[in-house]
Amino acid sequence: SLSEDDACSLLELYFYNAIHSDSLNEAKYAVDRLTDTLTSDSARVAILRSIYAEQTQGTRAAADELRKCTFTTPELLKRHVAIIKSTGDKSALIDSLIELLDTIPADPEVWSELGETYYQLGLYQQSVYCFEEVLLSQPLAYNIYARTGEVLLSYMRSSTNTKQKETLLTDAMKRFARAVELSDDYIRGLCGLLIATKELLLIKSTSKMVSKLHDHTKLNIERVIADSEGPDIEAAKLVLA
C-alpha cells in the first residue's frame, strides 16, 4: 500500500491536472481529501486551497486562504507573490518580493524578478542592484550580465547629465563585454556591446580602445548572423543597419 506521503503526492498531482483541465469538481475533491489527511493548517494544503479559490472566486479569496495558515514558509510567500503578480500591482509585487527575500535572501530567481519589476517602473538603479545580487550567486550567468547592461543603457537614456551618461555607458559596456567573454556567440550580449560602444564614441570619440572594441564587435555580429537564424538574429540585423 502507498505511504501517506506518496498518497498525498498523487492527490496533489491529481489536483493540478484537474485545475489545468478546468475540472473544478475533481480539484475540490482532491484538495478536500488532502485537507482531511494533512489538516487545513498545512502550508501544502493552504497553497492548493488558494489555487482553487483563485480559479473559483478570484485573487482576494486566494489571498484569504493563505492567511488562514498560522505560520509562514517560502512556498506560501511564493504563492502570495504569484497572486499579487496576477493583479498587476507593481508596488505591491515589490513589497511581496522583498518580504520573500527576508526568508530566502540568496534566491536568484526572486532577485531577478524584483529587478525586472523595478525596471518596469523605471527604477533603474534599484534594478541594477538586484541583478548584481543574482550575479553574486551565479557569477557565470552571461545572460544576467547582458540584462544588467540593458538596464544600464535604459538608465543612461533617462539621464540628462553628460558625465553620468558616460559612467553608465562605461558600466554597460563592461557588463556586455563580460557576457560576451563568457559566451562569445551570445548575440544579445554582442548587440548590447555594439550599442554601448557606439553611444560611448559619441561622447568619447577619441577613445581608441572603445573604437577598436566597437569594430571588433561588429565583425563578430556579422559572423554570428552568417552562421545562425532566429528572432534574435533578425533583431541583430536591425542593430547593424
The DSSP line for 160-185 is: --HHHHHHHHHHHHHHHHHHHHH-TT
Does position 10 have pLDDT exceeding 80, yes or no? yes
Separation of alpha carbons 150 and 182, rounded Å: 17
Coil vs helix vs strand at 68:
coil
What is the overall mean pLDDT for the chain? Answer: 93
Banded model confidence at residue 232, pLDDT cuts 50, 70, 90: confident
Banded model confidence at residue 197, pLDDT cuts 50, 70, 90: very high
The whole-number pLDDT of residue 40 equals: 60
> Hunting for cell 492567511 — which residue is that?
67
Supply 111's cell numbers. Answer: 532577485
The whole-number pLDDT of residue 19 equals: 96
Average confidence (pLDDT) over 25-54: 89
The whole-number pLDDT of residue 237 equals: 85
Separation of alpha carbons 138 and 69, rounded Å: 33
The domains spanning 72-139 and 143-241 adopt the same CATH topology: yes
> Hunting for cell 488532502 — which residue is that?
34
For residue range 142-167, list pLDDT tens digits in order.
999 999 999 999 999 999 999 999 99
Does position 1 have pLDDT exceeding 80, yes or no? no
How is domain 72-139 classified at the CATH fold level? 1.25.40
* CATH number of the 143-241 domain: 1.25.40.10
Does position 223 have pLDDT exceeding 70, yes or no? yes
Average confidence (pLDDT) over 67-74: 85
Q: Per-domain residue ranges for the chain?
A: 1-71, 72-139, 143-241
The CA-atom distances, in angstroms, between 95 and each of 54, 117, 131, 154 are: 21, 11, 17, 23
Does position 207 have pLDDT exceeding 90, yes or no? no
To the question of pTM greater than 0.75 for the whole model, the response is yes
The whole-number pLDDT of residue 241 equals: 75
Average confidence (pLDDT) over 92-114: 96
Average confidence (pLDDT) over 87-108: 95
Contact yes or no for 104/74 (Cβ under 8 A)? yes
Contact yes or no for 199/156 (Cβ under 8 A)? yes
Q: Residue 91 belongs to what H/E stretch? A: helix 90-103
> Hunting for cell 473559483 — which residue is that?
56
The whole-number pLDDT of residue 71 equals: 82
Q: Which long-range contacts (CB under 8 A, 24 or more apart) does 220-223 make?
A: 220/180, 220/184, 220/190, 221/187, 221/190, 221/191, 221/194
Residue 7 DSSP one-character state: H
From the list 78, 67, 87, 71, the residue with the least C-alpha distance to 109 is 78
Banded model confidence at residue 41, pLDDT cuts 50, 70, 90: low
Separation of alpha carbons 37 and 169, rounded Å: 58
Identity at 105, one-letter amino acid code: P
